[in-house]
Amino acid sequence: MNSRFPKLIAFDLDYTLWPLWIDTHVGSSLKRDGDTLNEVHDIFGDKVSFYHDVAQILHQLRSAGVVIAACSRTTATDLAREALSLLLVPPKAGDASSTVMPAIKFFDQLEIHPGSKIAHFKQLHKKTGIPYSEMLFFDDEMRNKEVKSLGVTFQLVQQGLDNACFEKGVENWRAQHPEKVLDDAAKETLDTSL
Ligand SMILES: [Mg+2]
């Protein structure tokens, strides 16, 4: 099985990881009921939760050592961070040692600010040093595919992130960046040039 991932995978938030626009659908001041998993409420009782498959995808990437980024152009920057801090991600399936963690701990990088996502990715590149060819981005808005001009692989999310869409994105990245296998002739050239 091919388990090759890009070094960094970034996710949009609204309608990619959760089914709402955090700036217009959610009132300020979020609350979690005890240790309820994957669910917080705003002052009107409206719910914020990740789509069903998101938790295990985050676990898979974390285990694989992939740098995980959130990349959103919402104007509700603080509220988005608050939601990520409060949302509890269930443990990794089939791993008895896995514990409940706040969603924000899964994200190595947060780029949450309005404007073109080109700027978000330039920041990610600057902060991590990871080349754009090693970045894969999941987003539900077609306009954000402009990041492809940098060399980032873009995967459109049509009904929220699920396992099928995630696999499609990763396959898309693998197809665009085939594994470099050195044949004997190439190795010889490499040896003599050392
Ligand atoms: Mg979105």
pLDDT in tens, 127-141: 999 999 999 999 999
Q: If you measure from the C-alpha of residue 143 to the centroid of ligand 1, how many angstroms do you get, rounded to a whole number?
A: 10
Q: Domain 8-193, what architecture?
A: 3-Layer(aba) Sandwich (3.40)
Closest CA to 69 of 108, 105, 102: 108
Q: If you measure from the C-alpha of residue 138 to the centroid of ligand 1, how many angstroms do you get, rounded to a whole number?
A: 9
Active site members: 12, 14
* pLDDT, tens digit, 9 for 90 and up, residues 14-31: 999 999 999 887 777 899
Closest CA to 71 of 148, 154, 13, 130: 13
Q: If you measure from the C-alpha of residue 29 to the centroid of ligand 1, how many angstroms do you get, rounded to a whole number?
A: 21
Residue 1 predicted with pLDDT over 70: no
pLDDT band at 45 (very low <50, low <70, confident <90, very high): confident
Q: From CA 35, how far away is CA 14, in angstroms rounded?
A: 23
Q: Residue 174 has what DSSP assignment?
A: H
Burial 60-93 (b: 16+ CB within 10 A, else e): bbbeeebbbbbbbbbebbebbbbbbebbbbebbe
Residue 192 predicted with pLDDT over 70: no
